Structure 1
Amino acid sequence: MKTLLKVLAVLASLGILGLLLALFLTSGLTDTADKFFTAIRSKQYQVAYGLLSEDFRSSTSYEEFIAFLNKNALLGYKEASWTNRSSSGSKGELDGTVTTETGGTIPVKLSMVKENNSWRIYSIQKVRSGILADDATEGSSGALDHVALVRGSMRDFAEAVMAKDFTEFHRKISQLWQRQITPEEFNRIFKGFIDANLDLLFLDNYVPVFEKSPEIDEHGVLSIKGYYPTKPSRVMFDFGYIREGKAWRLVKTNINIKPVD
Protein backbone atom coordinates (compact mmCIF):
# COMPACT_ATOMS: atom_id res chain seq x y z
CA MET A 1 0.00 0.00 0.00
CA LYS A 2 2.82 2.38 0.92
CA THR A 3 4.58 1.55 -2.33
CA LEU A 4 1.40 2.37 -4.31
CA LEU A 5 1.04 5.70 -2.48
CA LYS A 6 4.68 6.54 -3.24
CA VAL A 7 4.15 5.75 -6.95
CA LEU A 8 1.03 7.91 -7.05
CA ALA A 9 2.89 10.72 -5.29
CA VAL A 10 5.69 10.59 -7.85
CA LEU A 11 3.22 10.55 -10.74
CA ALA A 12 1.34 13.47 -9.26
CA SER A 13 4.53 15.47 -8.82
CA LEU A 14 5.34 14.92 -12.47
CA GLY A 15 1.83 15.88 -13.61
CA ILE A 16 1.38 12.39 -15.06
CA LEU A 17 -1.41 11.33 -12.70
CA GLY A 18 -3.78 13.97 -14.05
CA LEU A 19 -2.97 12.94 -17.60
CA LEU A 20 -3.61 9.28 -16.86
CA LEU A 21 -6.89 10.16 -15.15
CA ALA A 22 -7.99 12.23 -18.15
CA LEU A 23 -7.13 9.39 -20.51
CA PHE A 24 -9.11 6.97 -18.36
CA LEU A 25 -12.19 9.21 -18.19
CA THR A 26 -12.22 9.75 -21.95
CA SER A 27 -11.33 6.21 -23.01
CA GLY A 28 -14.97 5.53 -23.83
CA LEU A 29 -14.93 8.35 -26.36
CA THR A 30 -11.93 6.96 -28.23
CA ASP A 31 -13.36 3.42 -28.06
CA THR A 32 -16.52 4.56 -29.85
CA ALA A 33 -14.52 6.59 -32.38
CA ASP A 34 -12.20 3.64 -33.08
CA LYS A 35 -15.18 1.29 -33.54
CA PHE A 36 -16.81 3.81 -35.86
CA PHE A 37 -13.83 4.26 -38.16
CA THR A 38 -12.85 0.59 -38.03
CA ALA A 39 -16.35 -0.28 -39.22
CA ILE A 40 -15.94 2.18 -42.10
CA ARG A 41 -12.57 0.69 -43.06
CA SER A 42 -14.17 -2.79 -43.03
CA LYS A 43 -17.07 -1.47 -45.15
CA GLN A 44 -19.49 -2.28 -42.32
CA TYR A 45 -21.36 0.96 -42.88
CA GLN A 46 -24.53 -0.13 -41.09
CA VAL A 47 -22.46 -0.82 -37.98
CA ALA A 48 -20.90 2.65 -38.25
CA TYR A 49 -24.34 4.20 -38.75
CA GLY A 50 -25.51 2.42 -35.59
CA LEU A 51 -22.81 4.22 -33.59
CA LEU A 52 -24.43 7.59 -34.35
CA SER A 53 -26.72 9.19 -31.79
CA GLU A 54 -30.49 8.88 -32.10
CA ASP A 55 -30.76 12.57 -33.00
CA PHE A 56 -28.03 12.24 -35.64
CA ARG A 57 -29.80 9.31 -37.29
CA SER A 58 -33.21 10.99 -37.14
CA SER A 59 -31.90 13.97 -39.13
CA THR A 60 -29.57 12.09 -41.49
CA SER A 61 -30.61 9.09 -43.56
CA TYR A 62 -28.26 6.18 -44.17
CA GLU A 63 -27.86 7.28 -47.81
CA GLU A 64 -26.93 10.84 -46.73
CA PHE A 65 -24.46 9.43 -44.22
CA ILE A 66 -22.69 7.40 -46.93
CA ALA A 67 -22.70 10.43 -49.26
CA PHE A 68 -21.04 12.51 -46.53
CA LEU A 69 -18.31 9.91 -45.97
CA ASN A 70 -17.65 9.66 -49.69
CA LYS A 71 -17.60 13.43 -50.25
CA ASN A 72 -15.11 13.97 -47.43
CA ALA A 73 -12.77 11.08 -48.32
CA LEU A 74 -13.53 9.32 -45.02
CA LEU A 75 -14.35 6.06 -46.83
CA GLY A 76 -10.59 5.75 -47.34
CA TYR A 77 -9.91 5.75 -43.57
CA LYS A 78 -6.69 4.10 -42.45
CA GLU A 79 -6.12 5.35 -38.90
CA ALA A 80 -6.99 8.17 -36.51
CA SER A 81 -5.03 10.18 -33.96
CA TRP A 82 -6.73 12.20 -31.19
CA THR A 83 -4.82 15.21 -29.89
CA ASN A 84 -7.52 16.69 -27.65
CA ARG A 85 -10.26 14.96 -25.71
CA SER A 86 -12.72 16.12 -23.09
CA SER A 87 -15.90 14.97 -21.37
CA SER A 88 -18.38 16.51 -18.96
CA GLY A 89 -21.37 14.55 -17.77
CA SER A 90 -23.14 13.08 -20.78
CA LYS A 91 -21.21 15.13 -23.37
CA GLY A 92 -17.77 14.63 -24.85
CA GLU A 93 -15.51 15.80 -27.68
CA LEU A 94 -12.55 14.48 -29.63
CA ASP A 95 -10.24 16.57 -31.82
CA GLY A 96 -7.71 14.98 -34.09
CA THR A 97 -6.84 13.82 -37.57
CA VAL A 98 -7.83 10.94 -39.82
CA THR A 99 -5.20 9.48 -42.13
CA THR A 100 -6.47 7.94 -45.36
CA GLU A 101 -5.13 4.96 -47.33
CA THR A 102 -3.59 7.37 -49.84
CA GLY A 103 -1.66 9.17 -47.10
CA GLY A 104 -3.94 12.19 -46.86
CA THR A 105 -4.67 13.85 -43.52
CA ILE A 106 -8.15 15.13 -42.60
CA PRO A 107 -8.71 17.27 -39.46
CA VAL A 108 -11.92 16.15 -37.72
CA LYS A 109 -13.88 16.89 -34.56
CA LEU A 110 -16.35 14.46 -33.04
CA SER A 111 -19.00 15.56 -30.56
CA MET A 112 -20.55 12.75 -28.53
CA VAL A 113 -23.41 12.12 -26.14
CA LYS A 114 -24.17 9.27 -23.78
CA GLU A 115 -27.18 7.15 -24.66
CA ASN A 116 -28.03 4.12 -22.50
CA ASN A 117 -24.60 4.39 -20.83
CA SER A 118 -22.78 4.19 -24.16
CA TRP A 119 -21.05 6.99 -26.08
CA ARG A 120 -22.64 7.79 -29.44
CA ILE A 121 -21.48 10.27 -32.10
CA TYR A 122 -23.67 13.38 -32.09
CA SER A 123 -21.89 15.30 -34.85
CA ILE A 124 -18.90 15.05 -37.19
CA GLN A 125 -17.11 18.23 -38.19
CA LYS A 126 -14.46 18.40 -40.90
CA VAL A 127 -12.46 21.55 -41.59
CA ARG A 128 -13.09 22.52 -45.21
CA SER A 129 -10.09 22.36 -47.50
CA GLY A 130 -9.09 24.62 -50.37
CA ILE A 131 -9.39 28.40 -50.61
CA LEU A 132 -12.01 29.50 -48.06
CA ALA A 133 -14.09 32.63 -47.87
CA ASP A 134 -13.55 34.83 -44.82
CA ASP A 135 -15.98 33.25 -42.34
CA ALA A 136 -15.70 36.26 -40.10
CA THR A 137 -17.45 38.39 -42.71
CA GLU A 138 -21.14 38.32 -41.91
CA GLY A 139 -23.18 37.35 -44.93
CA SER A 140 -20.32 35.73 -46.82
CA SER A 141 -20.98 32.34 -48.38
CA GLY A 142 -18.38 30.72 -46.13
CA ALA A 143 -20.23 31.86 -43.02
CA LEU A 144 -23.57 30.54 -44.20
CA ASP A 145 -25.38 27.46 -43.07
CA HIS A 146 -26.48 26.45 -46.55
CA VAL A 147 -28.68 23.64 -45.25
CA ALA A 148 -30.59 26.05 -43.01
CA LEU A 149 -30.93 28.49 -45.91
CA VAL A 150 -32.45 25.84 -48.18
CA ARG A 151 -34.69 24.50 -45.44
CA GLY A 152 -36.04 27.98 -44.76
CA SER A 153 -36.77 28.63 -48.43
CA MET A 154 -38.44 25.24 -48.89
CA ARG A 155 -40.55 25.78 -45.78
CA ASP A 156 -41.67 29.19 -47.04
CA PHE A 157 -42.58 27.61 -50.38
CA ALA A 158 -44.45 24.72 -48.73
CA GLU A 159 -46.44 27.12 -46.56
CA ALA A 160 -47.38 29.19 -49.62
CA VAL A 161 -48.61 26.08 -51.45
CA MET A 162 -50.63 24.97 -48.42
CA ALA A 163 -52.18 28.45 -48.09
CA LYS A 164 -52.74 28.63 -51.87
CA ASP A 165 -51.35 32.13 -51.62
CA PHE A 166 -47.78 33.31 -52.38
CA THR A 167 -48.17 36.77 -50.84
CA GLU A 168 -46.06 35.97 -47.78
CA PHE A 169 -43.52 34.07 -49.88
CA HIS A 170 -43.24 37.13 -52.16
CA ARG A 171 -42.62 39.36 -49.14
CA LYS A 172 -39.56 37.32 -48.14
CA ILE A 173 -37.76 37.19 -51.50
CA SER A 174 -35.18 39.76 -52.61
CA GLN A 175 -36.33 43.27 -53.44
CA LEU A 176 -34.78 42.83 -56.89
CA TRP A 177 -37.04 39.87 -57.61
CA GLN A 178 -40.06 41.55 -56.02
CA ARG A 179 -39.83 44.25 -58.70
CA GLN A 180 -39.91 41.59 -61.42
CA ILE A 181 -42.72 39.30 -60.26
CA THR A 182 -46.01 39.52 -58.34
CA PRO A 183 -47.65 37.11 -55.86
CA GLU A 184 -50.33 36.43 -58.47
CA GLU A 185 -47.68 35.35 -60.98
CA PHE A 186 -46.23 32.96 -58.40
CA ASN A 187 -49.71 31.52 -57.95
CA ARG A 188 -49.96 30.89 -61.70
CA ILE A 189 -46.44 29.45 -62.01
CA PHE A 190 -46.96 26.98 -59.18
CA LYS A 191 -50.64 26.29 -59.92
CA GLY A 192 -49.86 22.60 -60.37
CA PHE A 193 -48.56 22.35 -56.81
CA ILE A 194 -51.56 24.24 -55.45
CA ASP A 195 -54.16 22.23 -57.38
CA ALA A 196 -52.57 18.98 -56.24
CA ASN A 197 -52.97 20.09 -52.59
CA LEU A 198 -49.36 19.11 -51.93
CA ASP A 199 -48.14 19.20 -48.35
CA LEU A 200 -44.37 19.62 -48.54
CA LEU A 201 -43.92 20.55 -44.88
CA PHE A 202 -42.86 16.96 -44.21
CA LEU A 203 -39.53 17.86 -45.87
CA ASP A 204 -38.52 19.42 -42.55
CA ASN A 205 -37.80 15.84 -41.49
CA TYR A 206 -35.15 15.43 -44.20
CA VAL A 207 -31.71 16.93 -44.79
CA PRO A 208 -31.28 18.36 -48.31
CA VAL A 209 -28.51 16.84 -50.41
CA PHE A 210 -26.45 19.20 -52.59
CA GLU A 211 -25.47 18.05 -56.08
CA LYS A 212 -22.34 20.20 -55.83
CA SER A 213 -20.85 22.68 -53.39
CA PRO A 214 -22.81 25.98 -53.23
CA GLU A 215 -20.97 28.73 -55.05
CA ILE A 216 -21.24 32.44 -55.82
CA ASP A 217 -20.96 33.44 -59.47
CA GLU A 218 -19.51 36.61 -60.99
CA HIS A 219 -22.86 38.38 -60.54
CA GLY A 220 -22.94 37.72 -56.81
CA VAL A 221 -25.64 35.05 -57.04
CA LEU A 222 -25.29 32.17 -54.60
CA SER A 223 -26.52 29.01 -56.34
CA ILE A 224 -27.63 25.96 -54.34
CA LYS A 225 -28.89 22.98 -56.30
CA GLY A 226 -29.87 19.58 -54.98
CA TYR A 227 -32.70 17.38 -53.78
CA TYR A 228 -34.47 15.90 -50.79
CA PRO A 229 -33.88 12.11 -50.60
CA THR A 230 -37.58 11.21 -50.54
CA LYS A 231 -39.27 8.15 -52.03
CA PRO A 232 -41.02 7.12 -54.24
CA SER A 233 -40.57 10.63 -55.70
CA ARG A 234 -37.66 13.00 -55.18
CA VAL A 235 -38.12 16.72 -54.54
CA MET A 236 -35.56 18.63 -56.62
CA PHE A 237 -34.62 22.27 -55.98
CA ASP A 238 -32.52 24.96 -57.61
CA PHE A 239 -32.32 28.12 -55.51
CA GLY A 240 -30.52 31.37 -56.24
CA TYR A 241 -29.78 34.03 -53.60
CA ILE A 242 -28.34 37.52 -53.59
CA ARG A 243 -27.11 39.44 -50.60
CA GLU A 244 -29.30 42.36 -49.53
CA GLY A 245 -28.02 44.11 -46.43
CA LYS A 246 -26.86 41.39 -44.07
CA ALA A 247 -29.15 38.67 -45.41
CA TRP A 248 -29.28 36.36 -48.43
CA ARG A 249 -32.63 36.63 -50.26
CA LEU A 250 -34.12 34.49 -53.00
CA VAL A 251 -33.75 35.64 -56.58
CA LYS A 252 -34.57 32.28 -58.19
CA THR A 253 -36.74 29.31 -57.28
CA ASN A 254 -37.09 26.14 -59.31
CA ILE A 255 -38.77 23.14 -57.67
CA ASN A 256 -39.69 19.85 -59.33
CA ILE A 257 -40.87 16.44 -58.19
CA LYS A 258 -39.55 13.43 -60.10
CA PRO A 259 -39.94 9.67 -59.57
CA VAL A 260 -36.88 7.90 -58.21
CA ASP A 261 -35.42 5.40 -60.68
Structure 2
Amino acid sequence: MNKLLKIVLGVVGVVALAISAVFYLTSGMVKVADELFLAASRGDTEKAYSLLSDDFKSGTSQEDLKKYFIANSLNNFKEASWESRSTSGGRGSLKGSITTREGGVIPITLNFVKSDSDWKIYSIQKPSSGLQVESELQMPSENEQLNLVTNSMQVFAESVNEKSMKKFHSTFSSMFKMQFTPEKLDEAYGSFYQAGVDLTVLENIEPKINSSAAIDDNGVLVISGYYPTEPSQVKFTQKFAYEGLNWKLIGFNINIE
Protein backbone atom coordinates (compact mmCIF):
# COMPACT_ATOMS: atom_id res chain seq x y z
CA MET A 1 0.00 0.00 0.00
CA ASN A 2 2.84 2.36 0.92
CA LYS A 3 4.52 1.56 -2.39
CA LEU A 4 1.31 2.36 -4.30
CA LEU A 5 0.97 5.61 -2.38
CA LYS A 6 4.53 6.56 -3.31
CA ILE A 7 3.83 5.86 -6.98
CA VAL A 8 0.65 7.95 -6.89
CA LEU A 9 2.46 10.79 -5.16
CA GLY A 10 5.24 10.51 -7.70
CA VAL A 11 2.77 10.84 -10.59
CA VAL A 12 1.13 13.83 -8.90
CA GLY A 13 4.56 15.37 -8.52
CA VAL A 14 5.33 14.91 -12.23
CA VAL A 15 1.96 16.45 -13.22
CA ALA A 16 2.58 19.40 -10.90
CA LEU A 17 6.02 19.96 -12.43
CA ALA A 18 4.56 19.79 -15.95
CA ILE A 19 1.90 22.38 -15.10
CA SER A 20 4.53 24.62 -13.52
CA ALA A 21 6.68 24.32 -16.66
CA VAL A 22 3.78 25.33 -18.92
CA PHE A 23 3.01 28.35 -16.75
CA TYR A 24 6.69 29.35 -16.73
CA LEU A 25 7.11 28.98 -20.51
CA THR A 26 3.93 30.95 -21.27
CA SER A 27 4.38 33.68 -18.64
CA GLY A 28 5.96 35.96 -21.23
CA MET A 29 2.92 35.65 -23.49
CA VAL A 30 0.56 36.41 -20.60
CA LYS A 31 2.59 39.54 -19.80
CA VAL A 32 2.36 40.75 -23.42
CA ALA A 33 -1.38 40.00 -23.53
CA ASP A 34 -1.97 42.00 -20.35
CA GLU A 35 0.04 44.90 -21.74
CA LEU A 36 -1.99 44.81 -24.97
CA PHE A 37 -5.39 44.99 -23.30
CA LEU A 38 -4.30 47.50 -20.67
CA ALA A 39 -3.04 49.72 -23.50
CA ALA A 40 -6.38 49.25 -25.28
CA SER A 41 -8.29 50.27 -22.15
CA ARG A 42 -6.16 53.44 -21.84
CA GLY A 43 -6.56 54.31 -25.51
CA ASP A 44 -2.81 53.90 -26.03
CA THR A 45 -2.95 52.39 -29.51
CA GLU A 46 0.72 53.14 -30.17
CA LYS A 47 1.78 50.96 -27.22
CA ALA A 48 -0.63 48.17 -28.25
CA TYR A 49 0.66 48.32 -31.83
CA SER A 50 4.27 47.92 -30.64
CA LEU A 51 3.36 44.49 -29.24
CA LEU A 52 2.37 43.10 -32.65
CA SER A 53 4.55 40.99 -34.94
CA ASP A 54 5.87 42.42 -38.21
CA ASP A 55 3.49 40.15 -40.16
CA PHE A 56 0.54 41.45 -38.13
CA LYS A 57 1.58 45.08 -38.73
CA SER A 58 2.06 44.57 -42.46
CA GLY A 59 -1.68 44.19 -42.98
CA THR A 60 -3.01 46.25 -40.06
CA SER A 61 -2.64 49.96 -39.32
CA GLN A 62 -2.86 51.56 -35.89
CA GLU A 63 -6.27 52.93 -36.88
CA ASP A 64 -7.43 49.42 -37.86
CA LEU A 65 -6.33 48.13 -34.45
CA LYS A 66 -8.10 50.95 -32.62
CA LYS A 67 -11.35 50.31 -34.52
CA TYR A 68 -11.09 46.58 -33.74
CA PHE A 69 -10.71 47.25 -30.01
CA ILE A 70 -13.76 49.53 -29.98
CA ALA A 71 -15.93 47.29 -32.20
CA ASN A 72 -15.29 44.30 -29.93
CA SER A 73 -15.45 46.19 -26.57
CA LEU A 74 -11.82 45.33 -25.84
CA ASN A 75 -11.22 48.99 -24.95
CA ASN A 76 -13.37 48.28 -21.87
CA PHE A 77 -10.93 45.64 -20.61
CA LYS A 78 -11.02 44.80 -16.91
CA GLU A 79 -9.26 41.43 -16.62
CA ALA A 80 -8.21 38.35 -18.59
CA SER A 81 -8.52 34.66 -17.81
CA TRP A 82 -6.60 32.03 -19.80
CA GLU A 83 -7.99 28.48 -19.78
CA SER A 84 -5.51 27.12 -22.30
CA ARG A 85 -1.82 27.93 -22.78
CA SER A 86 0.58 26.30 -25.21
CA THR A 87 4.01 26.85 -26.71
CA SER A 88 6.08 24.95 -29.25
CA GLY A 89 9.36 26.24 -30.62
CA GLY A 90 8.91 29.85 -31.61
CA ARG A 91 5.12 29.83 -31.56
CA GLY A 92 2.54 29.92 -28.79
CA SER A 93 -1.09 30.64 -28.01
CA LEU A 94 -3.42 31.74 -25.24
CA LYS A 95 -7.09 30.84 -25.29
CA GLY A 96 -9.55 32.23 -22.76
CA SER A 97 -11.76 35.22 -22.16
CA ILE A 98 -11.75 38.93 -21.44
CA THR A 99 -14.05 40.45 -18.82
CA THR A 100 -15.10 44.04 -19.51
CA ARG A 101 -15.78 46.78 -16.98
CA GLU A 102 -19.51 46.30 -17.65
CA GLY A 103 -19.25 42.63 -16.69
CA GLY A 104 -19.39 41.20 -20.22
CA VAL A 105 -17.30 38.14 -21.10
CA ILE A 106 -15.58 37.93 -24.50
CA PRO A 107 -14.01 34.64 -25.70
CA ILE A 108 -10.67 35.32 -27.37
CA THR A 109 -7.58 33.57 -28.74
CA LEU A 110 -4.15 35.14 -29.14
CA ASN A 111 -1.40 33.55 -31.23
CA PHE A 112 2.25 34.53 -30.72
CA VAL A 113 5.63 34.28 -32.44
CA LYS A 114 9.03 34.65 -30.77
CA SER A 115 10.91 37.72 -32.00
CA ASP A 116 14.51 37.67 -30.72
CA SER A 117 13.90 37.19 -26.99
CA ASP A 118 10.40 38.70 -26.89
CA TRP A 119 6.95 37.33 -27.68
CA LYS A 120 4.98 39.26 -30.29
CA ILE A 121 1.28 38.87 -31.09
CA TYR A 122 0.74 37.23 -34.47
CA SER A 123 -3.07 37.21 -34.51
CA ILE A 124 -6.15 38.03 -32.43
CA GLN A 125 -9.32 36.05 -32.98
CA LYS A 126 -12.71 36.63 -31.40
CA PRO A 127 -15.35 34.05 -32.43
CA SER A 128 -18.71 35.18 -33.78
CA SER A 129 -21.71 34.90 -31.48
CA GLY A 130 -24.45 32.33 -32.06
CA LEU A 131 -24.27 28.62 -32.82
CA GLN A 132 -20.72 27.58 -33.62
CA VAL A 133 -18.73 24.41 -34.25
CA GLU A 134 -15.85 24.30 -31.80
CA SER A 135 -12.44 24.39 -33.48
CA GLU A 136 -9.02 25.98 -33.07
CA LEU A 137 -9.90 28.49 -35.77
CA GLN A 138 -13.43 29.82 -36.05
CA MET A 139 -15.09 29.03 -39.38
CA PRO A 140 -16.29 32.33 -40.87
CA SER A 141 -20.02 32.67 -41.51
CA GLU A 142 -21.49 32.33 -45.01
CA ASN A 143 -21.69 36.12 -45.35
CA GLU A 144 -18.07 36.45 -44.26
CA GLN A 145 -17.04 33.82 -46.80
CA LEU A 146 -18.91 35.72 -49.52
CA ASN A 147 -17.13 38.93 -48.54
CA LEU A 148 -13.72 37.23 -48.63
CA VAL A 149 -14.38 35.77 -52.08
CA THR A 150 -15.93 38.89 -53.64
CA ASN A 151 -13.27 41.24 -52.26
CA SER A 152 -10.46 39.06 -53.58
CA MET A 153 -12.14 38.68 -56.97
CA GLN A 154 -12.76 42.41 -57.25
CA VAL A 155 -9.12 43.32 -56.58
CA PHE A 156 -7.98 40.58 -58.97
CA ALA A 157 -10.29 41.91 -61.70
CA GLU A 158 -9.01 45.46 -61.23
CA SER A 159 -5.41 44.22 -61.36
CA VAL A 160 -6.09 42.34 -64.61
CA ASN A 161 -7.50 45.51 -66.20
CA GLU A 162 -4.44 47.43 -65.01
CA LYS A 163 -2.17 44.64 -66.32
CA SER A 164 -0.31 44.70 -63.01
CA MET A 165 -0.67 42.47 -59.95
CA LYS A 166 0.76 45.00 -57.50
CA LYS A 167 -2.64 45.82 -56.01
CA PHE A 168 -3.64 42.15 -55.86
CA HIS A 169 -0.28 41.25 -54.28
CA SER A 170 -0.95 43.73 -51.45
CA THR A 171 -4.02 41.72 -50.33
CA PHE A 172 -2.06 38.51 -49.66
CA SER A 173 -0.70 37.33 -46.33
CA SER A 174 2.87 38.23 -45.40
CA MET A 175 3.90 34.58 -45.85
CA PHE A 176 2.69 34.58 -49.46
CA LYS A 177 4.21 37.97 -50.23
CA MET A 178 7.65 36.66 -49.29
CA GLN A 179 7.27 33.73 -51.71
CA PHE A 180 5.73 35.50 -54.71
CA THR A 181 6.54 38.96 -56.04
CA PRO A 182 4.07 41.02 -58.13
CA GLU A 183 6.20 40.14 -61.15
CA LYS A 184 5.74 36.41 -60.53
CA LEU A 185 2.00 36.95 -60.27
CA ASP A 186 2.12 38.86 -63.57
CA GLU A 187 3.64 35.75 -65.15
CA ALA A 188 1.11 33.43 -63.53
CA TYR A 189 -1.94 35.43 -64.62
CA GLY A 190 -0.49 36.93 -67.82
CA SER A 191 -2.94 34.97 -69.98
CA PHE A 192 -5.78 37.07 -68.57
CA TYR A 193 -4.00 40.25 -69.72
CA GLN A 194 -3.69 38.87 -73.23
CA ALA A 195 -7.29 37.65 -73.38
CA GLY A 196 -8.61 41.10 -72.50
CA VAL A 197 -11.22 39.64 -70.14
CA ASP A 198 -13.04 42.22 -68.01
CA LEU A 199 -13.88 40.46 -64.75
CA THR A 200 -15.11 43.62 -63.03
CA VAL A 201 -18.59 42.66 -64.28
CA LEU A 202 -18.60 40.04 -61.50
CA GLU A 203 -18.91 42.82 -58.93
CA ASN A 204 -22.70 42.78 -59.31
CA ILE A 205 -23.05 38.97 -59.36
CA GLU A 206 -23.18 36.94 -56.15
CA PRO A 207 -20.93 33.87 -56.26
CA LYS A 208 -22.19 30.39 -55.35
CA ILE A 209 -20.00 28.83 -52.67
CA ASN A 210 -19.66 25.05 -52.45
CA SER A 211 -20.77 23.42 -49.22
CA SER A 212 -17.30 21.85 -48.92
CA ALA A 213 -15.77 25.12 -47.67
CA ALA A 214 -13.71 24.22 -44.60
CA ILE A 215 -10.56 24.82 -42.56
CA ASP A 216 -8.03 22.07 -43.25
CA ASP A 217 -5.58 20.43 -40.85
CA ASN A 218 -3.01 23.17 -41.54
CA GLY A 219 -5.42 25.93 -40.51
CA VAL A 220 -6.03 27.01 -44.11
CA LEU A 221 -9.54 28.13 -45.06
CA VAL A 222 -10.42 26.73 -48.50
CA ILE A 223 -13.41 28.18 -50.38
CA SER A 224 -14.46 26.94 -53.81
CA GLY A 225 -17.40 27.86 -55.99
CA TYR A 226 -18.47 29.65 -59.15
CA TYR A 227 -20.14 32.74 -60.54
CA PRO A 228 -23.38 31.85 -62.43
CA THR A 229 -22.36 33.72 -65.58
CA GLU A 230 -23.39 32.82 -69.15
CA PRO A 231 -22.45 31.32 -71.51
CA SER A 232 -19.35 30.39 -69.47
CA GLN A 233 -19.03 30.06 -65.71
CA VAL A 234 -16.22 31.59 -63.71
CA LYS A 235 -15.00 28.92 -61.27
CA PHE A 236 -12.64 29.63 -58.39
CA THR A 237 -10.79 28.23 -55.40
CA GLN A 238 -9.47 30.69 -52.86
CA LYS A 239 -7.33 29.89 -49.82
CA PHE A 240 -6.86 32.00 -46.70
CA ALA A 241 -4.73 31.96 -43.54
CA TYR A 242 -5.66 33.80 -40.36
CA GLU A 243 -3.18 36.62 -39.81
CA GLY A 244 -3.50 39.70 -37.63
CA LEU A 245 -7.18 40.47 -37.21
CA ASN A 246 -8.64 38.57 -40.15
CA TRP A 247 -8.24 36.05 -42.95
CA LYS A 248 -5.60 36.85 -45.59
CA LEU A 249 -5.35 35.38 -49.08
CA ILE A 250 -2.64 32.74 -49.65
CA GLY A 251 -3.94 31.02 -52.78
CA PHE A 252 -6.09 31.98 -55.79
CA ASN A 253 -7.17 29.77 -58.67
CA ILE A 254 -9.62 30.85 -61.37
CA ASN A 255 -10.98 29.12 -64.50
CA ILE A 256 -13.49 30.24 -67.09
CA GLU A 257 -15.35 27.25 -68.54
Shorter-chain TM-score range = 0.5 to 0.7
RMSD: 3.5
CA gap 1:249/1:84 in 2 versus in 1, 3 angstroms: same
CA contact (8 A) 1:151 1:204 kept: no
2:6 aligned residue: none
- How far apart are 1:131 and its partner, in Å? 5.4
Provide Cα deviations, 1:147-186, integer angstroms capped at 9, x if missing partner.
3x244212322233224xxxxxxxxxxxxxxxxxxxxxxx
In structure 2, relative to structure 1, the CA distance for the partners of 1:132 and 1:93 (3 Å cut) is: closer
Q: CA separation in 2, counterparts of 1:109 and 1:119?
A: 15
Larger radius of gyration: 1
What pairs up with 1:195-210 in 2 under 5 angstroms? 201-202=166-167, 204-205=169-170
After superposition, the Cα gap between the structure-2 partners of 1:145 and 1:39, relative to the gap in structure 1 and judged at 3 Å, is: farther
CA distance in structure 1 between the partners assigned to 2:24 and 2:134 by the alignment: 39
1:73-123 deviation per Cα after TM superposition (whole angstroms, max 9, x unaligned): 211111100011010110000000001111110100100001121100000
2:99 alignment partner in structure 1: 99
Counterpart residue number, 1:74: 74
CA contact (8 A) 1:113 1:119 kept: yes
TM-score, length basis structure 2: 0.58
Question: Which residue in the other structure is 1:19 paired with?
Answer: 19
What is the CA distance between 1:250 and its match in structure 2? 5.0
Q: Distance in 2 between matches of 1:244 and 1:124?
A: 26
CA distance in 1, matches of 2:134, 2:207: 17
Distance of 2:109 and 2:49 partners within structure 1: 17
Residue ranges of structure 1 left out of the alignment (5+ in a row): 1-8, 164-198, 208-237, 253-261
Consecutive unaligned residues of structure 2, counting only runs of 5 or more, are 1-8, 173-202, 212-223, 230-257
Task: Give the secondary structure class of the aligned counterpart of 1:109.
Answer: strand
Please list, as runs of the form range in 1=range in 2, the aligned pairs for 1:145-224 lying within 5 A after superposition.
146-147=147-148, 149-163=149-163, 201-202=166-167, 204-205=169-170
Distance 1:139 1:127, change over 3 A: closer
Asked whether the equivalents of residues 207 and 227 of structure 2 are also in contact (C-alpha less than 8 Å), the reply is yes
Equivalenced residue count is 177
1:44 alignment partner in structure 2? 44
Is 1:141 the counterpart of 2:142? The answer is yes
Partner Cα separation in structure 2 for residue 77 and residue 152 of structure 1 = 34
Q: CA deviation at 1:134?
A: 11
Distance in 1 separating the partners of 2:140 and 2:89 = 36
Letter in 2 for 1:202: K
Percent identity of equivalent pairs: 30
Query: Which moved further from structure 2: 61-70 or 32-41?
Result: 61-70
Deviation at 1:245, TM superposition (A): 5.2
Asked whether the 8 Å contact 2:110–2:123 carries over to 1, the reply is: yes
Q: CA deviation at 1:244?
A: 6.0
Distance 1:112 1:145 in 2: 28
Q: Is the 8 A contact 2:155 2:167 kept in 1?
A: no
Local SS of the residue matching 2:206:
strand
TM-score (norm 1): 0.58
